[in-house]
């Protein structure tokens, strides 16, 4: 259970955990720390949502929405 619960929250005191999420999301530690402060949460979903809202990482649905909202003109 310990490993599973670790994947529900981010551990900012754990350098390996921070390194994993910065690489996975393509952000830096400062961006993650700011998202933690902004949300007041350590939950991965809250942090990721905040980073997406700030435009620091993009989800697949974000790209689909952008593609269809601004179609290229020929």
Per-residue pLDDT for the chain (74 aa), expressed as one digit of tens each? Answer: 445 445 899 999 999 999 999 999 999 999 999 999 999 999 999 999 999 999 888 766 666 766 677 655 44
Regarding pTM above 0.85, the answer is no
Nearest to 6 by CA among 44, 37, 41, 40: 44
Nearest to 39 by CA among 25, 31, 5, 3: 31
| pLDDT for res 74 | 45
User: Which residues does residue 43 pair with via DSSP β-bridges, in sequence order?
Assistant: 9
Structure tokens at 66: 């952008």
| pLDDT for res 68 | 74
CB 42 within 8 A of CB 13: no
Q: From CA 20, how far away is CA 55, in angstroms rounded?
A: 20
């Amino acid at each position: 259970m310990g490993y599973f619960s670790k994947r529900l929250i981010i551990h900012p005191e754990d350098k390996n955990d921070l390194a994993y999420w910065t690489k996975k999301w393509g952000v830096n530690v400062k961006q993650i720390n700011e998202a933690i402060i902004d949300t007041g949460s350590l939950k991965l979903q809250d942090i990721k949502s905040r980073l997406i809202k700030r435009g620091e990482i993009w989800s697949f649905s974000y790209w689909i929405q952008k593609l269809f909202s601004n179609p290229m003109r020929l």
